[in-house]
Structure 1
Amino acid sequence: MTKTAGSFRGARALFGALALVIASTAAAPSFAQQQDANAQRKAFRVCQDPNNLPFSSTKGDGIENRIAELFAKDLGLPVEYFSFPQRLAFVRNTLRYKLPGEDYRCDIIMGVPAGFDQVSATKPYYRSTYAMVYAQGRGLDGVQSIDEFLKLEPARLAKLRIGIYDRSPATEWLNKHKLVEQGVPYAIMNADPDQYPGEILEKDLASGKLDAVIVWGPIAGYFAKKVEQPKLVVLPMKSEPGVKFDFQMAMGVRYGEREWKQQIEGLIEKRQAEIAAILRDYNVPLLELQPVAGGRP
């Protein structure tokens, strides 16, 4: 998983995470086909992971579900979902999946890293960062920042068990700060359909199996809010030389669908305040958006 990808299924763990996605070489629709598709659009059709909170779920209670409902209402369309685990070949099996004589199964992925080249990515709609999470009452109380964490006595740091998704920026950070021995790696890819990135917090950190966890910010914030006991503390992490923790998220459509992409970007701009409110409701650590270079339409 690349650093950019890690954000996709878990940072989508991983942000942060997504070399998970393998795209097909399906031809982009012509301009005439695109115009016809927009004119005949009967639903706001979303490609989603069925078990990937806080982003999406079949119950429709994720961040992306709520934003999809917001956009669909503006367009006067019902929302329809095509679900597929966001692991290998997600783009190929959702956004680009089309059998001869049939239509595509869905038309938009609600969360991709800005600039992700397997889709035509929109302008970003939020920027977040990785975070460290610890449980109160287990020896780290009073630590209010990553700088304070790193200033703990070496003997105290040496006893910690820090859960991370392997090959994410957290791996590089532990290595940089000579904490590799304290790291407890979790596999980015898991064949179990019931597995979800937040398990590392909701189960292993909450139970005391781990002393701290480093995950993509939306996952950290959501599960810290969801877990009632023990109380979980979230410490956002800043990018450092050699370790990038913050990433911008966009939406993805098929290449060649210029009008559809422009329509989505118009909704992102129009509903930025409502989108930000949804993200805050899910306790997502938010950073100011940064300009991005233009890409292929």
Structure 2
Amino acid sequence: MIRQHIGISMKQILLSAVLLAGFFNMANAAEKVETLKVCADPFMLPFSNNEENGYENRIAELFAEKLGADLQYTWFPQRLGFIRNTLKKEEGTSGKYACDLVITVPSSFELAATTKPYYTTSYVLVYKKGIGLDDLTDPQMFSEFVKEHKPGVKFGVSDRGPGQLWAMNQGMMSSEHMVPYQGQPGDAKVHPGQRMIEDIAAGKIDAAVIWGPTAGYYAKQYKGQQEFVLLPIPDDKSNREMKYTYSISMAVRYGEKEWKETINKLIDENSEAIDKILTDYGIPLVK
């Protein structure tokens, strides 16, 4: 009886040891990444480009260094089919994928599992100093200010995204004021936000609503030549559709819990370095 009890106990101990060994092997496997494979857009600064000049590239380099891993990219334009052709694209029958990490997605992204947010930003109202809009400090007063001080203002707005809703709410959708921009041009190398900043600098338009990271980065390219004002547009708490502030996360495939935890840990341990990278790129951060 005692021998039988001891035998069962030994079996339980051995089984527990095997299970624990398996657990630790899985944990170590999650930590030991030989190659950090990142999914990225080849033509989308300030986020990324195939010359590796974007803030995503800087963060990827940081993470690869911390993991002791090589860095590899799979490039595809961030438009329809991006996740299918990158994060979810299987490489033959190996069970591996083209890439394992997307560095910039909305925290509410549904096509993949998102990490904890690592920054928050918003759409911004952008204008150039010295054209009669300098006293404007609240974007919500834009239409009233224009009517009183600068009735002939030309206002750029993309045909995609919440900028249209804001312009409509401000009464700026008339042909007298609005200058439309194509939100997703046929050429993946053309960025509408960049074009709007260039047109403000050239005096072709007076102001525009632009996604904050894009506006901040391209406005910074004119440092020492022209000065831009970026006014964050707050969410309209009375109307959930009027949302302009978004938290940004990274994304991995659903079901890859250990990998997601590894990325969350990297975000936590390198938050100051990540914030510095974002600030260096002119990204307006909402705290």
TM-score bracket for this pair, using the shorter chain length:
0.7 to 0.9
Tell which deviates more after alignment, 139-148 or 220-229.
139-148
2: distance between equivalents of 1:99 and 1:79? 17
Tell which deviates more after alignment, 94-103 or 34-43.
34-43
1:64 aligns with 2:56: yes
1: distance between equivalents of 2:169 and 2:220? 30
Alpha-carbon deviations, 1:5-59, whole Å to 9, x = none? xxxxxxxxxxxxxxxxxxxxxxxxxx9xx88974774211100001111111112
1:234 Cα shift? 1.3
2: distance between equivalents of 1:145 and 1:63? 29
Counterparts in 2 of 1:153 and 1:45: CA distance versus 1, 3 Å: closer
1:149 aligns with 2:133: no
Alpha-carbon deviations, 1:151-193, whole Å to 9, x = none? 4151645411111222311111111121111222222222213
2: distance between equivalents of 1:190 and 1:87? 11
Identity %: 39
Structure 1 unaligned regions, length at least 5: 1-30, 289-297
Give TM-score, length-normalised by structure 2.
0.82
1:253 Cα shift? 0.4
1: distance between equivalents of 2:146 and 2:84? 49
Contact 2:157 2:167 in 1 (8 A): no
Q: Which residue of 2 is the match for residue 134 of structure 1?
A: 127
Alpha-carbon deviations, 1:116-154, whole Å to 9, x = none? 110011111100111111112322233233245344151
Q: Which residue of 1 is the match for residue 228 of structure 2?
A: 232
Contact 2:106 2:248 in 1 (8 A): yes
Q: Which residue of 2 is the match for residue 207 of structure 1?
A: 202
SS at match of 1:140: coil
The structure with more radius of gyration: 2
Contact 2:181 2:192 in 1 (8 A): no
Map 1:271-290; keep pairs closer than 5 Å: 271-288=270-287
2: distance between equivalents of 1:91 and 1:283? 27
1:188 aligns with 2:180: no
Bigger proportion of residues as helix: 2
Contact 2:107 2:115 in 1 (8 A): yes
1:84 Cα shift? 0.6
SS at match of 1:94: coil
Alpha-carbon deviations, 1:50-106, whole Å to 9, x = none? 111111111212111111111111100121111111111100011011243243111
Amino acid at match of 2:138: S
Tell which deviates more after alignment, 236-245 or 75-84.
236-245
Contact 1:82 1:105 in 2 (8 A): yes
Counterparts in 2 of 1:124 and 1:162: CA distance versus 1, 3 Å: same
2: distance between equivalents of 1:230 and 1:156? 22
Instruction: Figure out how many residues of one structure are paired with residues of the other and give that number.
Output: 256
Amino acid at match of 1:274: A
Tell which deviates more after alignment, 38-47 or 163-172.
38-47
2: distance between equivalents of 1:231 and 1:40? 46
Q: Which residue of 2 is the match for residue 53 of structure 1?
A: 45
2: distance between equivalents of 1:223 and 1:90? 24
Structure 2 unaligned regions, length at least 5: 1-22
Contact 2:201 2:226 in 1 (8 A): yes
Counterparts in 2 of 1:154 and 1:268: CA distance versus 1, 3 Å: same
Which of 166, 185, 190 pairs up with 2:159? 166
Q: Which residue of 1 is the match for residue 263 of structure 2?
A: 264
Contact 1:132 1:220 in 2 (8 A): no
RMSD over aligned Cα, in angstroms?
A: 2.2
